[in-house]
Amino acid sequence: MSDAYRQAWTVSITDRDAFWGAAARAIDWVAPPQRIHDADAGWFAGGTLNTAANCLDRHVAAGRGDAPALVYDSPVIGRVRRFTYAQLLEESGRVAAMLKRLGVGKGDRVVIYMPMIPETVFAMLACARIGAIHSVVFGGFAALELAKRIDDAAPRLILTASCGIEGGRLIAYKPMVDEALALASHRVEHVVLVQRDALAADLQPPRDIDWMTLRGECAGDPIPEPAVMAANDPLYILYTSGTTGTPKGVVREHGGHAVALAWSMANIYGIGAGDCFWAASDVGWVVGHSYIVYAPLLVGATTILFEGKPVGTPDPGTFWRTIVRHGVKTFFTAPTAIRAIRKEDPDAAFLADIGTGDLQAIFLAGERADPDTIAWLEEKTGLPVIDHWWQTELGWPAIASCFALGDLRRKRGSAGFPVPGYEFVVLGEDGQPVPDGQSGSITIKAPLAPGAFRTLWNNPVGFARNFESFPGYYETGDAGHFDAEGFLHIMGRTDDIINVAGHRLSTGQMEQIVAQQDGIAECAVIGADDAIKGMIPVAFVVPRAGAADPDTLVRMVIAAVRAELGAVAALKTAYVVPQLPKTRSGKILRNLLRSIVNGQHVECPPTIEDPGVPTIIRAAVASRSAL
Ligand code: COA
Ligand code: AMP
C-alpha cells in the first residue's frame, strides 16, 4: 500500500479539519472559511468564493491567460476549436453579461438543455460567475422529463440549441423544449437558443431569443464581476434517477465542490496546470459537470469537450486519435465505451496504428467494469486501467486507487479503496457491519466528504431518506463487499436503479409508464445483462382482456417509454406474458425474471405462488416474441 495514500486516508478521517483545511488552500477564497466542517452549516462555513473565478480569472491573473483551457473537438461536424483561459473568461463573461441583461441574478435558476458545444460550457461558467444556479438536463431525455425538471427547478430561463448531433443523426432540441414548456406548469421568461449550422430552429419572439443576436446586443456590456458566494450556496442542481418517477435534484454547493475537485485532480488523477485531461462523457451527467467542466479548469489544466461517440464518429479509432491529437495525459470513460470499441476493433488495430501519445492512465466509472474489458484495455494500451466508483450524489470519486498518491494497487472486478474523506462500512440487514468477504449494503459513515450533496432541491425529506435505513450512515444503494486485502467490490444495486451504457435509469419509473398504457393489466421492467451497454431494460407485460394483439402492445410499450422518458432509456425489448411470477404475498419476483432473461439457471423460490409460471416466461423469452 502506498504510504501517502494510507496517511492521507487516515488523517482525512481522524483529523478531518486539518486534512480538508489544507486541501482548501488550493482554492482562492474571498473570505477564508471560519470552520472546516460544521454539522449544520456543512463544509467551509463562513468562507466565500466564486467558482468561476477559481476556474478562470485567477489563472489569467497569474499570467496563464494564453494557456489552453478548453478544446472542443467535434468529429460530427469536423471541427476543432481551442480556447485559452483568457478567451474562455471572455466568452463565459459575455454569456454572464447576456444573463444579467435578462435580469438573471444570484440564486435564480437557469435550465441548460444543450448538446456538447462550447456555448454549453460558457453557459455553466456564466451562471457560476453571477451566482445563478444551473441545472443541465441531458439531451437524451424526452420532453416530459425536461418538463418535470423545469417544474421542480422553476428557472427564469432555458438555454438551448437548435440541435444535437448524435452520431450521424440530427436531434432537434427546440420542438422538445416547446413541448416541455407546454407540459410544465412553470412559466419561463425566455428561451435563449444557439442556432447551429446543421439545423435552424423556429423562434417565437418575444419569449425566444437568438443567442448570437443577444450576444451582439450585449457586446458593450461589462463582464459582470464574480458574485461573492457562501461556501454552502448552491452552484448547481443536477437531477438523477431515484426510485420513484420523480427525479432527485442533487444540490451541489460552491465551497466543498471546489475543494474536493481540486484535491481529486492532484491526488487521484495526477493532473495539474498545463496538463491535458479528457473525460469522455456528456455535460448532462455528473461526470461531465465535474470532470469536463469544473475540475480541470480549477487546477489550470486543459479539458476536452468531445462531441462524438466512441464508435461510428467516424470509426473505433476516434478516442485514440483525440488522445494523441491533444496530448491527453489522463483519460476517463465508461466501460461501455470500451466494450463498443472492442466489438468493432477486437484486435485494437486502430489503437496500434494511432497509439496513445502522452497518455499515462485510463480511469473507468459509471458502471461496473468487467474484468475482461479491463484486461483487454490494459493489454492493448500497456497502461494502468483504474476502475473507480462514485455517484451523482457524491460528485467525485469515493472508491478508487489514488493513482497520483502512488497507489497502483488494482484488482480486476474491484473499484479500489475508500478515497480520503470517505469511511465505507458494509452493513447487513441488521445494521451491523458484516465480515470481509460477505456482501451487504455499501454505506458511508456520516459526514460525507466535501463536495457530496447535503440536500435535494425542494426535497429535504428525500435527502434524509438516504440516512434512514442505517442511522448515521449514508446508504449508497449499492451492494458489495470488502475483500481480505481491503479492496471494495461493487456487485449491484439494492434498489430498482440500472445502469444502461453508463446512464443511470430507474426501472420503477419505466414500470410506471408501461403500466399506464391501454390494455396493460400489470407489468415488470428489469435490467438484463448486455454485452455492450452493461445492462438494458426489458419489459414483461400482462395484457387485459380485450387488449390489442401482442405485437401492437409491445410496440406501444416501447414507444411510450421512448416518448415519456427518452431515447436514452433504450427499452427495445418487451414480452407479452399471461402472468408474472409472484410470491404468495403478491410480490413480483423480478430476480427470477432477470435470471430467465440472462439465460441463467433458475432456482424457483419456495414462496412462489405458481411454480408453473417460470416455464411459461422461459418459453416466451425463448420464442423471441420480443420485437
Ligand atoms: N441527445 C439526444 N439523444 C441521445 C443523446 C443525446 N445527448 N444521447 C443518446 N441519445 C439517444 C441515442 O441516439 C440513442 O437513440 P436510438 O435508440 O434512437 O439509437 C439512445 O439515446 C441510446 O443512446 P446510447 O445509450 O448512447 O446508445 P448508442 O447505441 O447510441 O451508443 C455507446 C452506445 C456505448 C457507444 C454509447 O452509449 C456510449 O458512448 N456510452 C458511453 C456513455 C458515457 O460516457 N457515459 C458517461 C457516464 S459516466
Ligand atoms: P451515477 O449517479 O449516474 O453516477 O450512477 C451511480 C451508480 O452507478 C452507482 O451507485 C453504481 O451503481 C454505478 N457505478 C458507478 N461507478 C461504478 C463502478 N466503478 N463500479 C460499479 N458500479 C458503478
Q: 322-351 pLDDT, tens per residue?
A: 999 999 999 999 999 999 999 999 999 999
pLDDT at 603 over 80: no
The answer to whether residue 605 sits within a structural domain is yes
Do 24 and 259 meet the contact criterion of CB atoms below 8 Å apart? Answer: yes
> How large is the angle between the packed helices 16-23 and 254-264, nearest 10 degrees?
80
The CATH number of whichever domain residue 30 belongs to comes to 3.40.50.12780
pLDDT tens sequence across 89-130: 999 999 999 999 999 999 999 999 999 999 999 999 999 999
Are residues 107 and 69 both part of a single domain? yes
In a domain, 338, yes or no: no
* In a shared domain, residues 506 and 462: no
Query: Which residue puts its alpha carbon closest to atom 47 of ligand 1?
Result: 502
Q: Which helix (H) or strand (E) holds 592?
A: helix 590-597
Residue bearing the CA closest to ligand 2, atom 21: 368
Check pLDDT > 50 for residue 626: no
| Same domain assignment for residues 92 and 175 | yes
Nearest ligand 2 atom to alpha carbon 476: 10
Q: Is 336 in the pocket of ligand 1 (CB under 6 A)?
A: yes
Ligand having the closest approach to the CA of 499: 2
CA distance 279 to 281: 6
Statement to judge: residues 476 and 523 lie in one domain = no
CA 391 to centroid of ligand 2, rounded, Å: 6
pLDDT tens, position by position, 189-222: 999 999 999 999 999 999 999 999 999 999 999 9
Cβ–ligand 2 contact at 333 (below 6 Å): no
CA 562, CA 352: separation in Å to the nearest integer?
38
The C-alpha torsion from 577 through 581 and 586 to 587, rounded to 10°, is -110
Of 47-61, 156-170, 240-254, 436-450, least confident by mean pLDDT is 240-254
Q: CATH no. for residue 563?
A: 3.30.300.30
Nearest CA to ligand 1 atom 32: 337
Residue 244 lies in a domain: yes
Measuring from atom 1 of ligand 2, which residue has the nearest CA? 391
Q: At what angle do helices 550-564 and 507-515 cross, to 10 degrees?
A: 120
Q: Identify which of 118, 106, 112, 125 has the alpha carbon closest to the alpha carbon of residue 60.
A: 125
- 550-565: b (≥16 Cβ within 10 Å) or e: beebbebbbebbbebb
What's the grid cell of residue 366? 459509471
Task: Look at residues 70, 118, 465 and name the one whose alpha carbon lies nearest to residue 276.
Answer: 70
Residue-range definition of the domain harbouring residue 80: 3-308+388-480
**568 alpha carbon – ligand 1 mean position (Å):** 6
**C-alpha radius of gyration, the chain, whole number:** 24
Predicted pLDDT at 624: 64
**Angle, alpha carbons 576-579-581 (nearest 5°):** 115
Output the CA 264–ligand 2 centroid distance in Å.
18
Name the 3-class secondary structure at 573.
strand
> Does residue 502 have its Cβ closer than 6 Å to ligand 1?
yes
Interhelix angle 3-14/16-23, nearest 10 degrees: 110
Local confidence band at 475 (pLDDT 50, 70, 90 cut-offs): very high
270 and 406 belong to one structural domain: yes
Flag whether 317 is in a domain. Answer: no
Min mean pLDDT across 45-54, 61-70, 454-463, 581-590 is at: 581-590
Q: Is residue 453 part of a domain?
A: yes
Cell of 599: 439465460
Same domain, 118 and 181: yes
Select from 309, 343, 390, 627 the residue to mutate for testing ligand 1; criterion: most ligand atoms less than 8 Å from CB. 309
Assign 3-class secondary structure to 332-358.
EECHHHHHHHHHHCCCCHHHHHHCCCC
- Kindly state whether residue 373 falls inside one of the protein's structural domains: no
Q: Quick one: average pLDDT of 268-296?
A: 98
Please tell me if the CB atom of residue 565 comes closer than 6 angstroms to any atom of ligand 1.
Answer: no
469 pLDDT above the threshold of 50: yes
DSSP 3-state helix, strand, coil percentages of the chain (rounded to 5)? Answer: 35, 25, 40
Round the average pLDDT of the chain to a whole number and report it.
Answer: 96
What is the SS3 assignment for 588? strand
Task: Identify the pLDDT of residue 323.
Answer: 98
Tally of CB atoms within 10 A around 206: 8
Q: Which of 480, 511, 543 is the last residue of a domain?
A: 480
Give the cell for residue 444: 458511508
Report pLDDT for 241: 86
Average pLDDT of the residues in 503-511:
93
Question: Which ligand sits closest to the CA of 138?
Answer: 1
My answer on whether 435 and 538 are in the same domain is: no
On whether residue 428 sits in a domain, the answer given is yes
Secondary structure class of 190 (helix, strand, coil) = strand
| Ligand 1 pocket, residue 287 CB under 6 Å | yes
Q: Which ligand is nearest to the CA of 535?
A: 1
Q: Do 541 and 553 form a contact (C-beta atoms < 8 A)?
A: yes
When divided into structural domains, the chain yields a total of 2
Query: Same structural domain for residues 419 and 510?
Result: no
Peptide bond into 206 cis (omega under 30): yes
Residue 627: per-residue pLDDT: 42
Which of 49, 259, 27, 223 has the alpha carbon at shortest distance from 122?
A: 223
Asked whether residue 380 carries a pLDDT value surpassing 60, the answer given is: yes
Number of residues in the chain: 627
Task: State whether the beta carbon of 527 lies less than 6 angstroms from ligand 2.
Answer: no
Please give the pLDDT value at position 78.
Answer: 96
CA dist 46 → 31, 229, 421 (Å): 8, 10, 21
Q: Based on the fold, state whether residues 443 and 541 are members of the same structural domain.
A: no
DSSP letters, 15-43, are SHHHHHHHHGGGS--SB--S-SEETTTEE
Give the pLDDT band of residue 370 (cuts 50, 70, 90). very high
Residues 64 and 200 in one domain: yes
Which of ligand 2's atoms lies nearest the C-alpha of 477?
A: 10
Q: What is the pLDDT of residue 625?
A: 45
Determine the average pLDDT of the residues in 7-31: 98
Query: What residues contact residue 598 under an 8 Å CB cut-off, 6+ apart?
Result: 528, 529
Residue after which a domain boundary falls, among 480, 509, 528: 480
Would residue 334 count as lying in a domain?
A: no
pTM recorded for the entire structure: 0.95
Domain check: are 126 and 250 in the same one?
Answer: yes
Contacts of 3 (CB under 8 A, 6+ apart): none
Q: What is the 3-state secondary structure (H, E, C) of 537-563?
A: EEEEEEECCCCCCHHHHHHHHHHHHHH
Atom of ligand 2 nearest to the CA of 499: 8
Distances from the Cα of 429 to the Cαs of 200, 440, 470, 498, in angstroms?
55, 7, 9, 22
Give the position, in ligand 1's atom list, of the atom nearest the Cα of 279: 44
Instruction: Give the ligand with the smallest distance to the CA of 453.
Output: 2
511 and 392 inside one domain: no
Residue 389 Cβ contacting ligand 2 at under 6 Å: yes
Any ligand 1 atom below 6 A from CB of 235: no
Atom 19 (ligand 1) nearest CA = 567
